[in-house]
Chains A and B, each alone.
Chain A
Amino acid sequence: MMNFIRISARNLLRNKMRTALTILGASVAIIAFVMLRTTLSAWSVAADYAAKDRIATRHKVSFVITVPKNYVDQIRGVPGIKSATYAIWFGGKNPKKPEQFFATMAWDVPSMLEVYNELVLPPDQKQAFLADKQGAIIGDVLARQLGLKVGDRFTLQGSIYPGDWPLNISGIYSAASKAVDRSSLFFHYSYVNDSLPPDRQDQVGWIASRIDDAGRGPAISAAIDQMFDVKDIQTATMSERAMNLSFMGMISSLLKALDVISIIILFIMLMILGNTIAMGVRERTREYGVLRAIGFQPSSIAWFVIGEAAVTGFVSGLVGLALSYPIVELGLGRALEENQGSWFPYFRIDIKTYAMGMVLAMVLALAASILPARSAFRLQVTDALRRLA
Protein backbone atom coordinates (compact mmCIF):
# COMPACT_ATOMS: atom_id res chain seq x y z
CA MET A 1 0.00 0.00 0.00
CA MET A 2 1.40 3.32 -1.05
CA ASN A 3 0.49 6.30 1.06
CA PHE A 4 1.95 9.50 2.41
CA ILE A 5 3.79 7.86 5.29
CA ARG A 6 5.31 5.25 3.02
CA ILE A 7 6.56 7.88 0.59
CA SER A 8 7.85 9.93 3.52
CA ALA A 9 9.68 6.90 4.88
CA ARG A 10 11.21 6.23 1.45
CA ASN A 11 12.32 9.85 1.22
CA LEU A 12 14.17 9.42 4.49
CA LEU A 13 16.19 6.60 2.99
CA ARG A 14 17.25 8.75 0.06
CA ASN A 15 20.26 10.14 1.88
CA LYS A 16 20.95 7.29 4.24
CA MET A 17 24.03 8.78 5.87
CA ARG A 18 22.32 12.07 6.67
CA THR A 19 19.22 10.34 7.95
CA ALA A 20 21.32 7.98 10.07
CA LEU A 21 23.28 10.89 11.55
CA THR A 22 20.09 12.85 12.22
CA ILE A 23 18.44 9.91 13.91
CA LEU A 24 21.61 9.23 15.86
CA GLY A 25 21.84 12.88 16.95
CA ALA A 26 18.22 12.98 17.99
CA SER A 27 18.59 9.59 19.70
CA VAL A 28 21.54 10.87 21.72
CA ALA A 29 19.37 13.80 22.80
CA ILE A 30 16.67 11.33 23.84
CA ILE A 31 19.22 9.25 25.76
CA ALA A 32 20.50 12.37 27.53
CA PHE A 33 16.94 13.38 28.31
CA VAL A 34 16.13 9.92 29.69
CA MET A 35 19.30 9.94 31.82
CA LEU A 36 18.51 13.35 33.28
CA ARG A 37 14.88 12.51 33.97
CA THR A 38 15.95 9.23 35.54
CA THR A 39 18.47 11.09 37.69
CA LEU A 40 15.74 13.45 38.84
CA SER A 41 13.31 10.64 39.55
CA ALA A 42 16.03 8.55 41.26
CA TRP A 43 16.66 11.44 43.60
CA SER A 44 13.02 11.65 44.51
CA VAL A 45 12.45 7.90 44.67
CA ALA A 46 12.94 7.80 48.42
CA ALA A 47 10.25 10.45 48.76
CA ASP A 48 7.94 8.67 46.33
CA TYR A 49 8.26 5.32 48.05
CA ALA A 50 8.10 6.75 51.57
CA ALA A 51 5.95 4.82 54.05
CA LYS A 52 2.56 6.46 54.33
CA ASP A 53 2.10 5.44 57.95
CA ARG A 54 5.33 7.03 59.13
CA ILE A 55 5.80 10.63 60.17
CA ALA A 56 8.93 12.53 61.11
CA THR A 57 9.44 15.26 63.67
CA ARG A 58 12.34 17.69 63.55
CA HIS A 59 13.29 21.12 64.81
CA LYS A 60 10.86 23.72 63.46
CA VAL A 61 13.66 25.74 61.86
CA SER A 62 15.78 23.03 60.20
CA PHE A 63 16.63 19.40 60.47
CA VAL A 64 20.26 20.31 61.14
CA ILE A 65 19.22 21.66 64.58
CA THR A 66 18.60 19.02 67.22
CA VAL A 67 15.64 18.58 69.57
CA PRO A 68 15.72 17.18 73.12
CA LYS A 69 15.57 13.40 73.36
CA ASN A 70 12.81 13.59 75.98
CA TYR A 71 10.45 14.73 73.17
CA VAL A 72 10.44 11.10 72.03
CA ASP A 73 8.59 9.88 75.10
CA GLN A 74 6.10 12.73 74.84
CA ILE A 75 5.46 11.86 71.20
CA ARG A 76 4.95 8.21 72.12
CA GLY A 77 2.07 9.40 74.31
CA VAL A 78 0.23 11.17 71.49
CA PRO A 79 -2.92 9.26 70.43
CA GLY A 80 -2.38 7.44 67.15
CA ILE A 81 1.38 6.89 67.62
CA LYS A 82 2.20 3.17 67.54
CA SER A 83 5.95 3.48 68.05
CA ALA A 84 8.66 6.09 67.75
CA THR A 85 12.40 6.07 67.27
CA TYR A 86 15.11 8.69 66.95
CA ALA A 87 18.46 9.29 65.34
CA ILE A 88 21.27 11.71 64.74
CA TRP A 89 23.11 12.32 61.54
CA PHE A 90 26.66 11.21 62.35
CA GLY A 91 28.42 12.29 59.18
CA GLY A 92 31.21 9.71 59.45
CA LYS A 93 33.75 8.79 56.79
CA ASN A 94 35.89 5.84 55.89
CA PRO A 95 39.40 7.07 56.90
CA LYS A 96 40.94 4.98 54.12
CA LYS A 97 38.75 6.63 51.51
CA PRO A 98 37.49 9.93 52.95
CA GLU A 99 36.13 11.21 49.61
CA GLN A 100 33.61 8.40 49.42
CA PHE A 101 30.20 9.48 50.66
CA PHE A 102 27.80 7.19 52.48
CA ALA A 103 25.15 7.92 55.08
CA THR A 104 26.05 7.17 58.71
CA MET A 105 23.36 7.52 61.35
CA ALA A 106 23.21 6.65 64.99
CA TRP A 107 19.80 5.25 65.99
CA ASP A 108 18.05 4.02 69.02
CA VAL A 109 18.37 0.53 67.62
CA PRO A 110 15.53 -1.43 69.33
CA SER A 111 12.89 1.13 68.35
CA MET A 112 14.45 1.74 64.96
CA LEU A 113 14.10 -1.93 63.97
CA GLU A 114 10.44 -1.69 64.97
CA VAL A 115 9.67 1.54 63.11
CA TYR A 116 11.70 0.60 60.02
CA ASN A 117 10.53 -2.96 59.62
CA GLU A 118 11.35 -2.93 55.87
CA LEU A 119 15.02 -3.41 56.77
CA VAL A 120 15.76 -7.06 56.08
CA LEU A 121 18.24 -8.49 58.60
CA PRO A 122 18.78 -12.18 59.50
CA PRO A 123 17.57 -12.87 63.10
CA ASP A 124 21.01 -13.84 64.43
CA GLN A 125 22.54 -10.64 63.05
CA LYS A 126 19.68 -8.64 64.52
CA GLN A 127 20.32 -10.15 67.94
CA ALA A 128 24.04 -9.47 67.65
CA PHE A 129 23.36 -5.87 66.66
CA LEU A 130 20.99 -5.33 69.60
CA ALA A 131 23.43 -6.85 72.05
CA ASP A 132 26.58 -4.95 71.04
CA LYS A 133 26.81 -1.23 71.84
CA GLN A 134 29.59 -0.89 69.25
CA GLY A 135 27.64 -2.99 66.77
CA ALA A 136 26.68 -1.62 63.37
CA ILE A 137 24.68 -2.82 60.43
CA ILE A 138 25.60 -1.93 56.92
CA GLY A 139 23.68 -2.06 53.64
CA ASP A 140 24.60 -4.89 51.29
CA VAL A 141 25.60 -2.46 48.53
CA LEU A 142 27.97 -0.54 50.82
CA ALA A 143 29.31 -3.76 52.30
CA ARG A 144 30.38 -4.89 48.83
CA GLN A 145 32.04 -1.54 48.15
CA LEU A 146 33.93 -1.51 51.43
CA GLY A 147 34.68 -5.22 51.30
CA LEU A 148 33.11 -5.75 54.73
CA LYS A 149 31.50 -8.88 56.10
CA VAL A 150 29.77 -9.78 59.33
CA GLY A 151 32.26 -9.90 62.20
CA ASP A 152 34.66 -7.37 60.71
CA ARG A 153 35.92 -4.34 62.62
CA PHE A 154 35.47 -1.02 60.91
CA THR A 155 36.51 2.40 62.14
CA LEU A 156 34.50 5.48 61.26
CA GLN A 157 36.10 8.87 61.30
CA GLY A 158 33.70 11.42 62.77
CA SER A 159 33.30 14.96 61.46
CA ILE A 160 30.31 16.30 63.41
CA TYR A 161 31.43 14.06 66.28
CA PRO A 162 35.22 14.11 65.87
CA GLY A 163 37.50 11.17 66.52
CA ASP A 164 37.77 7.53 65.58
CA TRP A 165 34.73 5.38 66.22
CA PRO A 166 35.53 1.67 66.08
CA LEU A 167 32.53 -0.48 65.14
CA ASN A 168 31.78 -4.19 64.92
CA ILE A 169 29.87 -5.19 61.83
CA SER A 170 26.98 -7.10 63.37
CA GLY A 171 24.91 -7.51 60.25
CA ILE A 172 24.40 -6.73 56.62
CA TYR A 173 20.92 -5.57 55.72
CA SER A 174 18.99 -5.54 52.53
CA ALA A 175 15.64 -3.87 51.91
CA ALA A 176 12.06 -4.81 51.21
CA SER A 177 11.34 -1.32 49.88
CA LYS A 178 12.90 0.76 47.11
CA ALA A 179 12.98 3.70 49.51
CA VAL A 180 15.62 2.17 51.75
CA ASP A 181 19.15 3.13 50.91
CA ARG A 182 21.25 -0.02 50.81
CA SER A 183 24.49 1.86 51.14
CA SER A 184 24.11 3.32 54.62
CA LEU A 185 25.65 2.44 57.94
CA PHE A 186 23.60 2.41 61.16
CA PHE A 187 24.86 2.03 64.68
CA HIS A 188 23.82 2.74 68.26
CA TYR A 189 22.77 6.20 69.38
CA SER A 190 23.87 5.35 72.89
CA TYR A 191 27.42 4.72 71.65
CA VAL A 192 27.67 8.33 70.48
CA ASN A 193 25.52 9.90 73.17
CA ASP A 194 27.42 8.31 76.05
CA SER A 195 30.70 9.57 74.63
CA LEU A 196 29.59 13.19 74.42
CA PRO A 197 30.17 15.86 77.06
CA PRO A 198 27.05 16.35 79.23
CA ASP A 199 26.00 19.58 77.52
CA ARG A 200 25.80 17.85 74.16
CA GLN A 201 24.07 14.71 75.33
CA ASP A 202 20.44 13.65 74.83
CA GLN A 203 19.87 15.61 71.67
CA VAL A 204 18.35 13.98 68.58
CA GLY A 205 18.26 15.02 64.95
CA TRP A 206 14.77 13.72 64.21
CA ILE A 207 12.11 11.44 65.56
CA ALA A 208 10.38 8.93 63.28
CA SER A 209 7.01 7.54 64.33
CA ARG A 210 4.69 4.83 63.06
CA ILE A 211 1.04 5.82 63.22
CA ASP A 212 -2.01 3.60 63.42
CA ASP A 213 -3.88 5.21 60.51
CA ALA A 214 -2.10 6.68 57.47
CA GLY A 215 -5.14 8.85 56.79
CA ARG A 216 -4.72 10.60 60.14
CA GLY A 217 -1.11 11.61 59.50
CA PRO A 218 -1.81 15.37 59.20
CA ALA A 219 -3.97 15.43 62.35
CA ILE A 220 -1.42 13.51 64.42
CA SER A 221 1.39 15.70 63.07
CA ALA A 222 -0.56 18.80 64.06
CA ALA A 223 -1.18 17.39 67.54
CA ILE A 224 2.56 16.76 68.04
CA ASP A 225 3.56 20.25 66.94
CA GLN A 226 0.82 21.81 69.02
CA MET A 227 2.14 19.96 72.05
CA PHE A 228 5.59 21.55 71.62
CA ASP A 229 4.37 25.02 70.61
CA VAL A 230 4.52 26.17 74.21
CA LYS A 231 8.07 24.85 74.66
CA ASP A 232 11.34 26.66 73.97
CA ILE A 233 12.05 24.37 71.06
CA GLN A 234 9.18 23.98 68.64
CA THR A 235 8.89 21.16 66.13
CA ALA A 236 7.81 20.58 62.59
CA THR A 237 6.17 17.22 62.04
CA MET A 238 5.53 15.97 58.55
CA SER A 239 4.99 12.86 56.51
CA GLU A 240 8.07 10.82 55.70
CA ARG A 241 7.67 11.90 52.10
CA ALA A 242 7.75 15.58 53.08
CA MET A 243 10.77 14.93 55.29
CA ASN A 244 12.63 13.26 52.43
CA LEU A 245 11.71 16.13 50.15
CA SER A 246 13.05 18.62 52.68
CA PHE A 247 16.39 16.76 52.54
CA MET A 248 16.24 17.16 48.77
CA GLY A 249 15.55 20.85 49.20
CA MET A 250 19.29 21.21 49.86
CA ILE A 251 19.99 20.22 46.28
CA SER A 252 16.97 21.89 44.71
CA SER A 253 19.15 24.27 42.67
CA LEU A 254 20.99 21.33 41.18
CA LEU A 255 17.72 19.61 40.37
CA LYS A 256 16.42 22.77 38.72
CA ALA A 257 19.64 23.01 36.71
CA LEU A 258 19.15 19.43 35.52
CA ASP A 259 15.60 20.27 34.54
CA VAL A 260 16.82 23.24 32.50
CA ILE A 261 19.54 21.13 30.87
CA SER A 262 16.98 18.53 29.84
CA ILE A 263 14.94 21.27 28.15
CA ILE A 264 18.06 22.62 26.41
CA ILE A 265 18.79 19.13 25.12
CA LEU A 266 15.32 18.95 23.64
CA PHE A 267 15.86 22.27 21.88
CA ILE A 268 19.09 20.92 20.42
CA MET A 269 17.13 17.96 19.14
CA LEU A 270 14.54 20.33 17.69
CA MET A 271 17.23 22.20 15.78
CA ILE A 272 18.88 19.01 14.48
CA LEU A 273 15.57 17.76 13.16
CA GLY A 274 14.48 21.15 11.83
CA ASN A 275 17.72 21.56 9.89
CA THR A 276 17.49 18.13 8.30
CA ILE A 277 13.85 18.53 7.36
CA ALA A 278 14.49 21.99 5.90
CA MET A 279 17.39 20.61 3.82
CA GLY A 280 15.14 17.83 2.56
CA VAL A 281 12.45 20.31 1.54
CA ARG A 282 15.00 22.49 -0.29
CA GLU A 283 16.39 19.50 -2.17
CA ARG A 284 12.98 18.20 -3.13
CA THR A 285 11.44 21.51 -4.16
CA ARG A 286 11.25 20.41 -7.77
CA GLU A 287 9.61 17.12 -6.85
CA TYR A 288 7.08 18.94 -4.75
CA GLY A 289 6.48 21.14 -7.80
CA VAL A 290 5.78 18.04 -9.88
CA LEU A 291 3.39 16.70 -7.27
CA ARG A 292 1.59 20.03 -7.22
CA ALA A 293 1.49 20.04 -11.02
CA ILE A 294 -0.21 16.65 -11.19
CA GLY A 295 -2.87 17.85 -8.82
CA PHE A 296 -1.70 17.48 -5.23
CA GLN A 297 -3.02 20.23 -2.98
CA PRO A 298 -0.58 22.49 -1.08
CA SER A 299 -1.78 20.84 2.13
CA SER A 300 -0.81 17.41 0.76
CA ILE A 301 2.73 18.65 0.16
CA ALA A 302 2.85 19.98 3.71
CA TRP A 303 1.68 16.57 4.91
CA PHE A 304 4.56 14.91 3.05
CA VAL A 305 6.96 17.08 5.04
CA ILE A 306 5.14 16.49 8.30
CA GLY A 307 4.97 12.75 7.58
CA GLU A 308 8.71 12.65 7.03
CA ALA A 309 9.27 14.48 10.32
CA ALA A 310 6.90 12.13 12.11
CA VAL A 311 8.76 9.08 10.80
CA THR A 312 12.10 10.66 11.81
CA GLY A 313 10.79 11.49 15.28
CA PHE A 314 9.30 8.04 15.74
CA VAL A 315 12.46 6.23 14.68
CA SER A 316 14.65 8.59 16.74
CA GLY A 317 12.45 7.99 19.75
CA LEU A 318 12.56 4.24 19.30
CA VAL A 319 16.32 4.15 18.79
CA GLY A 320 16.94 6.56 21.66
CA LEU A 321 14.80 4.59 24.07
CA ALA A 322 16.14 1.25 22.86
CA LEU A 323 19.69 2.47 23.52
CA SER A 324 18.70 4.08 26.82
CA TYR A 325 17.69 0.75 28.29
CA PRO A 326 21.09 -0.95 28.22
CA ILE A 327 22.96 2.29 28.96
CA VAL A 328 20.86 3.36 31.93
CA GLU A 329 19.35 0.16 33.28
CA LEU A 330 22.24 -2.22 32.73
CA GLY A 331 25.23 0.10 32.78
CA LEU A 332 25.02 3.46 34.45
CA GLY A 333 22.09 2.58 36.72
CA ARG A 334 23.74 -0.51 38.16
CA ALA A 335 26.99 1.36 38.63
CA LEU A 336 25.29 4.24 40.42
CA GLU A 337 23.25 1.95 42.64
CA GLU A 338 26.41 0.08 43.56
CA ASN A 339 28.70 3.05 44.04
CA GLN A 340 26.42 5.99 44.84
CA GLY A 341 23.60 4.20 46.58
CA SER A 342 23.15 6.98 49.12
CA TRP A 343 22.14 9.33 46.33
CA PHE A 344 20.67 6.84 43.89
CA PRO A 345 19.20 3.89 45.76
CA TYR A 346 17.06 2.96 42.76
CA PHE A 347 18.32 4.26 39.41
CA ARG A 348 15.93 2.78 36.85
CA ILE A 349 14.00 4.29 33.97
CA ASP A 350 10.43 4.98 34.93
CA ILE A 351 7.74 3.88 32.46
CA LYS A 352 6.57 7.51 32.43
CA THR A 353 10.03 8.58 31.26
CA TYR A 354 9.85 6.09 28.37
CA ALA A 355 6.45 7.44 27.40
CA MET A 356 7.61 11.05 27.79
CA GLY A 357 10.70 10.36 25.65
CA MET A 358 8.61 8.88 22.85
CA VAL A 359 5.95 11.57 22.97
CA LEU A 360 8.58 14.34 23.04
CA ALA A 361 10.47 12.82 20.12
CA MET A 362 7.28 12.88 18.07
CA VAL A 363 6.09 16.27 19.25
CA LEU A 364 9.49 17.91 18.69
CA ALA A 365 9.84 16.33 15.26
CA LEU A 366 6.42 17.66 14.32
CA ALA A 367 7.29 21.07 15.77
CA ALA A 368 10.53 21.05 13.77
CA SER A 369 8.55 20.39 10.61
CA ILE A 370 6.22 23.36 10.99
CA LEU A 371 8.40 25.94 9.22
CA PRO A 372 9.61 23.61 6.43
CA ALA A 373 6.03 22.39 5.93
CA ARG A 374 4.87 25.99 5.75
CA SER A 375 7.40 26.83 3.05
CA ALA A 376 6.44 23.65 1.14
CA PHE A 377 2.79 24.68 1.48
CA ARG A 378 3.56 28.09 0.00
CA LEU A 379 5.55 26.82 -2.97
CA GLN A 380 4.46 28.28 -6.29
CA VAL A 381 4.25 25.41 -8.77
CA THR A 382 5.93 27.25 -11.60
CA ASP A 383 8.77 28.46 -9.34
CA ALA A 384 9.26 24.98 -7.94
CA LEU A 385 9.42 23.41 -11.40
CA ARG A 386 12.00 25.94 -12.51
CA ARG A 387 14.21 25.10 -9.52
CA LEU A 388 17.17 22.90 -10.40
CA ALA A 389 17.14 19.58 -8.56
Chain B
Amino acid sequence: MSTESPIVSLKEIRKTFFRGKEPVSVLDGLSLNIAAGSFEALMGPSGSGKSTLLNLIAGLDRPTAGTAIVAGENIGKMSDGDLAKFRSRNIGFIFQAYNLMPVLTAQENVELPLLLHNLSGAERKKRAQTALRVVGLEDRSHHYPRQLSGGQEQRVAIARAIVNDPTIIVADEPTGDLDRKSADEILNLMDRLNKEFKKTILMVTHDPAAAERAAVTHKLDKGQLK
Protein backbone atom coordinates (compact mmCIF):
# COMPACT_ATOMS: atom_id res chain seq x y z
CA MET B 1 0.00 0.00 0.00
CA SER B 2 1.25 3.48 -0.85
CA THR B 3 2.23 5.91 1.83
CA GLU B 4 2.14 8.95 -0.48
CA SER B 5 -0.11 11.97 0.18
CA PRO B 6 -3.78 10.95 0.19
CA ILE B 7 -5.56 10.72 -3.12
CA VAL B 8 -8.81 11.47 -1.31
CA SER B 9 -8.87 14.11 1.38
CA LEU B 10 -12.19 15.01 2.99
CA LYS B 11 -12.39 17.64 5.72
CA GLU B 12 -15.45 18.39 7.79
CA ILE B 13 -17.79 17.20 5.10
CA ARG B 14 -21.47 17.83 5.63
CA LYS B 15 -24.24 16.76 3.35
CA THR B 16 -27.81 17.76 3.94
CA PHE B 17 -30.78 16.74 1.84
CA PHE B 18 -34.23 18.22 2.02
CA ARG B 19 -37.32 16.10 2.47
CA GLY B 20 -39.85 18.69 1.42
CA LYS B 21 -38.76 21.68 3.50
CA GLU B 22 -37.27 19.57 6.26
CA PRO B 23 -33.47 19.26 6.21
CA VAL B 24 -32.04 15.76 6.67
CA SER B 25 -28.37 15.57 7.61
CA VAL B 26 -26.71 12.52 6.00
CA LEU B 27 -23.03 13.28 6.55
CA ASP B 28 -22.17 15.22 9.64
CA GLY B 29 -18.67 16.76 9.73
CA LEU B 30 -16.93 13.72 8.30
CA SER B 31 -13.19 13.73 7.60
CA LEU B 32 -11.38 10.98 5.73
CA ASN B 33 -8.09 10.42 3.94
CA ILE B 34 -7.55 7.62 1.48
CA ALA B 35 -4.04 6.85 0.37
CA ALA B 36 -3.20 6.40 -3.28
CA GLY B 37 -3.08 2.73 -4.23
CA SER B 38 -5.06 1.52 -1.24
CA PHE B 39 -8.07 -0.79 -1.23
CA GLU B 40 -10.56 0.46 1.33
CA ALA B 41 -14.06 -0.56 2.24
CA LEU B 42 -16.97 1.43 3.63
CA MET B 43 -19.45 -0.46 5.77
CA GLY B 44 -22.43 0.56 7.76
CA PRO B 45 -26.15 0.05 8.16
CA SER B 46 -28.66 1.25 5.61
CA GLY B 47 -29.05 5.03 5.76
CA SER B 48 -25.68 5.52 7.39
CA GLY B 49 -24.46 7.66 4.45
CA LYS B 50 -22.14 5.14 2.68
CA SER B 51 -23.48 5.74 -0.81
CA THR B 52 -23.69 9.48 -0.25
CA LEU B 53 -20.04 9.51 0.79
CA LEU B 54 -19.07 7.40 -2.21
CA ASN B 55 -21.02 9.78 -4.50
CA LEU B 56 -19.17 12.78 -3.07
CA ILE B 57 -15.77 11.16 -3.54
CA ALA B 58 -16.71 10.09 -7.09
CA GLY B 59 -17.82 13.60 -8.00
CA LEU B 60 -21.44 12.61 -8.55
CA ASP B 61 -22.57 15.07 -5.91
CA ARG B 62 -21.22 18.07 -4.01
CA PRO B 63 -20.93 18.48 -0.25
CA THR B 64 -23.13 21.02 1.49
CA ALA B 65 -20.08 22.11 3.50
CA GLY B 66 -16.47 21.07 3.94
CA THR B 67 -13.60 20.45 1.55
CA ALA B 68 -13.31 17.49 -0.78
CA ILE B 69 -9.96 17.12 -2.58
CA VAL B 70 -9.87 14.12 -4.89
CA ALA B 71 -6.97 13.37 -7.21
CA GLY B 72 -5.62 16.81 -6.40
CA GLU B 73 -8.79 18.68 -7.39
CA ASN B 74 -11.25 20.50 -5.16
CA ILE B 75 -14.37 18.87 -6.50
CA GLY B 76 -16.74 20.58 -4.07
CA LYS B 77 -16.61 23.79 -6.10
CA MET B 78 -16.85 22.35 -9.58
CA SER B 79 -19.69 22.95 -12.01
CA ASP B 80 -21.69 19.99 -13.34
CA GLY B 81 -19.73 20.08 -16.60
CA ASP B 82 -16.37 20.17 -14.84
CA LEU B 83 -17.43 17.35 -12.53
CA ALA B 84 -18.33 15.25 -15.59
CA LYS B 85 -14.87 15.89 -17.03
CA PHE B 86 -13.30 15.10 -13.68
CA ARG B 87 -15.16 11.78 -13.53
CA SER B 88 -14.20 10.83 -17.07
CA ARG B 89 -10.51 11.44 -16.25
CA ASN B 90 -10.27 10.07 -12.73
CA ILE B 91 -13.10 7.76 -11.72
CA GLY B 92 -14.03 4.23 -12.69
CA PHE B 93 -17.46 3.06 -11.53
CA ILE B 94 -18.61 -0.42 -10.57
CA PHE B 95 -22.30 -0.66 -9.69
CA GLN B 96 -24.23 -3.36 -7.86
CA ALA B 97 -26.58 -3.87 -10.82
CA TYR B 98 -23.72 -3.80 -13.41
CA ASN B 99 -25.61 -1.15 -15.40
CA LEU B 100 -24.42 -2.21 -18.82
CA MET B 101 -26.21 -0.84 -21.87
CA PRO B 102 -28.26 -3.82 -23.08
CA VAL B 103 -28.15 -2.73 -26.73
CA LEU B 104 -24.35 -2.72 -26.85
CA THR B 105 -21.96 -5.67 -26.93
CA ALA B 106 -19.42 -6.20 -24.15
CA GLN B 107 -16.78 -4.58 -26.34
CA GLU B 108 -19.00 -1.56 -27.08
CA ASN B 109 -19.96 -1.16 -23.43
CA VAL B 110 -16.29 -1.05 -22.49
CA GLU B 111 -15.61 1.45 -25.25
CA LEU B 112 -18.28 3.86 -23.94
CA PRO B 113 -16.03 5.94 -21.61
CA LEU B 114 -13.50 6.24 -24.43
CA LEU B 115 -16.06 8.06 -26.60
CA LEU B 116 -15.36 11.05 -24.39
CA HIS B 117 -11.75 11.16 -25.47
CA ASN B 118 -10.29 12.02 -28.80
CA LEU B 119 -9.37 8.50 -29.85
CA SER B 120 -9.69 6.73 -33.17
CA GLY B 121 -12.06 3.80 -33.48
CA ALA B 122 -9.10 1.42 -33.78
CA GLU B 123 -7.50 2.81 -30.65
CA ARG B 124 -10.78 2.52 -28.71
CA LYS B 125 -11.16 -1.05 -29.83
CA LYS B 126 -7.59 -1.91 -28.83
CA ARG B 127 -7.98 -0.43 -25.37
CA ALA B 128 -11.35 -2.10 -24.82
CA GLN B 129 -9.89 -5.48 -25.82
CA THR B 130 -7.02 -4.96 -23.39
CA ALA B 131 -9.48 -4.20 -20.58
CA LEU B 132 -11.56 -7.25 -21.46
CA ARG B 133 -8.41 -9.37 -21.45
CA VAL B 134 -7.61 -8.13 -17.93
CA VAL B 135 -11.01 -9.31 -16.71
CA GLY B 136 -10.73 -12.58 -18.66
CA LEU B 137 -13.55 -11.93 -21.13
CA GLU B 138 -11.76 -11.26 -24.39
CA ASP B 139 -13.59 -14.24 -25.92
CA ARG B 140 -16.98 -12.67 -25.02
CA SER B 141 -16.37 -9.26 -26.52
CA HIS B 142 -19.18 -9.59 -29.06
CA HIS B 143 -21.73 -10.92 -26.60
CA TYR B 144 -24.59 -8.75 -25.44
CA PRO B 145 -25.21 -8.42 -21.68
CA ARG B 146 -28.24 -10.75 -21.91
CA GLN B 147 -25.89 -13.45 -23.22
CA LEU B 148 -23.63 -13.21 -20.16
CA SER B 149 -23.96 -14.47 -16.59
CA GLY B 150 -24.21 -11.99 -13.70
CA GLY B 151 -20.55 -12.50 -12.82
CA GLN B 152 -19.51 -11.96 -16.42
CA GLU B 153 -21.63 -8.83 -16.66
CA GLN B 154 -19.90 -7.44 -13.58
CA ARG B 155 -16.51 -8.27 -15.11
CA VAL B 156 -17.50 -6.32 -18.23
CA ALA B 157 -18.53 -3.45 -15.93
CA ILE B 158 -15.09 -3.65 -14.30
CA ALA B 159 -13.45 -3.57 -17.73
CA ARG B 160 -15.50 -0.46 -18.47
CA ALA B 161 -14.36 1.03 -15.15
CA ILE B 162 -10.66 0.50 -15.87
CA VAL B 163 -10.53 1.17 -19.62
CA ASN B 164 -9.82 4.86 -19.03
CA ASP B 165 -7.01 4.06 -16.60
CA PRO B 166 -8.78 6.00 -13.82
CA THR B 167 -7.12 7.27 -10.68
CA ILE B 168 -9.74 5.75 -8.39
CA ILE B 169 -12.23 2.91 -8.78
CA VAL B 170 -15.40 3.32 -6.74
CA ALA B 171 -17.54 0.24 -6.28
CA ASP B 172 -21.03 0.38 -4.80
CA GLU B 173 -21.97 -3.10 -3.53
CA PRO B 174 -20.15 -4.77 -6.45
CA THR B 175 -21.01 -8.28 -5.23
CA GLY B 176 -24.50 -7.50 -3.96
CA ASP B 177 -26.27 -9.24 -6.84
CA LEU B 178 -23.89 -12.20 -7.19
CA ASP B 179 -23.67 -15.70 -5.74
CA ARG B 180 -20.71 -16.48 -3.49
CA LYS B 181 -18.59 -18.02 -6.22
CA SER B 182 -19.08 -15.16 -8.65
CA ALA B 183 -18.62 -12.65 -5.82
CA ASP B 184 -15.27 -14.22 -4.95
CA GLU B 185 -14.19 -14.02 -8.60
CA ILE B 186 -15.06 -10.32 -8.68
CA LEU B 187 -13.28 -9.67 -5.40
CA ASN B 188 -10.21 -11.54 -6.69
CA LEU B 189 -10.28 -9.37 -9.77
CA MET B 190 -10.54 -6.18 -7.71
CA ASP B 191 -7.70 -7.43 -5.52
CA ARG B 192 -5.63 -7.95 -8.65
CA LEU B 193 -6.45 -4.47 -9.96
CA ASN B 194 -5.27 -3.04 -6.67
CA LYS B 195 -2.10 -5.10 -6.27
CA GLU B 196 -1.01 -5.61 -9.87
CA PHE B 197 -2.27 -2.38 -11.47
CA LYS B 198 -1.91 -0.21 -8.35
CA LYS B 199 -5.48 1.08 -8.60
CA THR B 200 -6.98 2.89 -5.62
CA ILE B 201 -10.27 1.17 -4.82
CA LEU B 202 -13.01 2.38 -2.54
CA MET B 203 -15.81 -0.13 -2.05
CA VAL B 204 -19.15 0.19 -0.30
CA THR B 205 -20.37 -3.17 0.93
CA HIS B 206 -22.65 -4.90 3.37
CA ASP B 207 -20.77 -8.15 2.93
CA PRO B 208 -18.13 -8.80 5.66
CA ALA B 209 -16.40 -11.31 3.38
CA ALA B 210 -15.99 -8.61 0.77
CA ALA B 211 -14.81 -6.09 3.32
CA GLU B 212 -12.12 -8.54 4.43
CA ARG B 213 -10.44 -8.14 1.05
CA ALA B 214 -9.89 -4.44 1.72
CA ALA B 215 -6.80 -3.31 3.59
CA VAL B 216 -8.82 -0.75 5.53
CA THR B 217 -12.49 -0.86 6.48
CA HIS B 218 -14.27 2.34 7.51
CA LYS B 219 -17.44 1.96 9.51
CA LEU B 220 -20.03 4.61 9.05
CA ASP B 221 -23.02 5.25 11.27
CA LYS B 222 -25.42 8.19 11.27
CA GLY B 223 -23.18 10.16 8.95
CA GLN B 224 -20.02 9.79 10.99
CA LEU B 225 -17.03 7.47 10.84
CA LYS B 226 -16.66 5.24 13.85
Contact = CB atoms under 8 A, between A and B. Distances in A.
A10 B104 CA distance: 8
Interface string B93-116: 101010101111000100111011
Interface string A292-317: 11111110000000000000000000
7 contacts: A2-B108, A286-B99, A293-B60, A294-B160, A297-B81, A298-B81, A385-B99
A1 B112 CA distance: 12
Interface stretch (B28-36, B38-46, B66-74, B84-92): B84-92
A7 B121 contact: no
Residue with the highest number of chain A CB atoms closer than 10 Å, among B81, B112, B121: B112
Contacts of A214: none
Contact of B99 (A1, A14, A287, A381): A287
Given A293-B58, A295-B113, A382-B55, 12 more contacts: A7-B104, A10-B104, A13-B103, A287-B101, A290-B93, A293-B93, A294-B87, A294-B91, A295-B116, A297-B81, A298-B80, A298-B84
A377 to B, nearest CB: 10
Nearest to A290: B99
Interface residues of A, number: 23
A297 B84 contact: yes
Which of A3, A293, A381, A389 has the most B CB atoms < 10 Å from its CB? A293
B61 interface: yes
Interface string A359-387: 00000000000000000000001100100
B101 A7 contact: yes
B95 A1 contact: no
Given A1-B121, A385-B95, A294 B101 contact: no
A382 B61 contact: yes
B190 to A, nearest CB: 18
Contacts of A295: 84-85, 87-89, 91, 113, 116
Contacts of B102: 14
A227 interface: no
B103 A7 contact: yes
B202 to A, nearest CB: 15
Interface in A323-337: none
B113 A290 contact: no
Residue from B60, B87, B102, B103 whose CB has the most chain A CB atoms within 10 Å: B103
A193 interface: no
Contacts of B93: 290, 293-294
Contact of A10 (B60, B80, B103): B103
Nearest to B52: A382
A2 B87 contact: no
B66 to A, nearest CB: 18
Contacts of B103: 7, 10-11, 13-14
Interface in A1-47: 1-3, 7, 10-11, 13-14
